[in-house]
Amino acid sequence: MEVMRRNGGGVAHTGRLDDDGAVTVEDSVPAVQIRDESIRLGQFLKLANLLESGAEAKQMIMEGQVDVNDETEFQRGRQLRDGDVVSVFGTAARVEGLA
């Protein structure tokens, strides 16, 4: 049985119940749900609480401090879709779009 465990800010971890009923986390990158099929990188950084403001997101992206799917991204308006993984300062979040 697949389960989803949430913590603050819409962050979720997906995992499965083992034979003892304990949750085993399959994906170490927390998922952040979005309302549409895509979201811009700058918006996602704020939604996922990876950065505090749009100005900070703009600066970190311009400085090459943000990775999308393990590649440095320099476009704040890049469209992210379900499954994309964004990381900054060693913290990552995975986009979870509409199913």
Domains of the chain, start order = 2-96 (3.10.290.10)
pLDDT beyond 70 at 86: yes
Q: What does the block give as tokens for 91?
A: 């913290």
pTM of the full structure = 0.72
- In degrees, rounded to 5, the angle at the alpha carbon of residue 74 between the alpha carbons of residues 84 and 38 is 35
pLDDT beyond 80 at 5: no
Handedness of CA 62, 64, 40, 87 (dihedral sign): negative
Q: What is the DSSP letter of 89?
A: T
- The reported pLDDT for the residue numbered 15 is 47
Strand pairing report for 31-33 and 91-96: parallel
- The reported pLDDT for the residue numbered 18 is 55
pLDDT beyond 70 at 30: yes
Q: What is the DSSP letter of 60?
A: H
Residue 34, amino acid = I
Adjacent-strand bridge partners of 91 = 88
pLDDT beyond 80 at 62: yes
